[in-house]
Structure 1
Amino acid sequence: MFQLAIIIRLLAFAIFVACVYGGNVLYNLLEHRKAKLLWKIGFVTLYSFFLLLVTYAVWFVFYFGLNT
């Protein structure tokens, strides 16, 4: 059971890192295409909220995984 908890934590962290790098790639694509400023501001705002939610999800996995 402990090994499963470690695997779940590592998987959650890997997903978080993939989301961060994926967002950077998407923003670079928007920058390369010379997207309008409103699209860039909207993307950064929505992506910030998304990362905040993913961060809390990863934190809950670590918090409850370590306290069980």
Structure 2
Amino acid sequence: MLNPIMRYTNFKASGCSAYASAWCRPVSASPFWSGGLSRQQYRAMMRVQSRHLIYDYCRDPKRDHSLTPECWR
């Protein structure tokens, strides 16, 4: 039996299936619509990344980034 490398606690996800009707508009839990992360949220994200991020495909020079618009910034 394999040991899990990650666990989620109190994880909540919302969204629409690929086949949902056009009226399905899930509420975004992301601060994307509010203009970005607050300073405190950004620091927390950087702290977690520095401790836990193993691979960042956006920084992989061997990867074709034409299909990953999230990496274009």
In the superposition, the TM-score normalised over structure 1's length comes to 0.28
Which structure would you say has the larger RCO, counting Cα contacts within 8 Å and 6 or more residues apart? 1
Pair member with larger Rg: 2
Larger relative helix fraction: 1
